[in-house]
Amino acid sequence: MASIHIREIFQELARRGAKDASPFDSKGEGFFVEIDFQDEQHTRIAMAAHAIDSEYANKVLSVETGFGTALILFDEAGLLKSIELC
């Protein structure tokens, strides 16, 4: 089900003229989509409360997908910062 939504996002971005919105760009420019989850207030609260998930703090996970490489980024408190498809 998620792949349908990702394709719809790609199509909408391409329709708006984003040069890097399609994994099938004939010019070979590639593509990039970022879903940003970062909330600086939540990060500040977690840091002030020493509620840091050290296993994920400032980490990046890289996973291959059918759409390319997915990067999952965490902030300094170990909270989800963003998911990027490239």
pLDDT in tens, the chain (86 residues): 556 677 777 778 778 887 776 665 556 566 677 888 888 898 889 889 998 999 999 999 999 987 788 999 999 999 999 998 88
Question: Which pTM value belongs to this model?
Answer: 0.69
| pLDDT at residue number 27 | 64
Contact 75, 81 (CB under 8 A): yes
Q: With CA atoms as reference, report the closest residue to 83 among 62, 67, 58.
A: 62
Q: Residue 15: its pLDDT value, please?
A: 85
Residue 71 has a pLDDT of 94
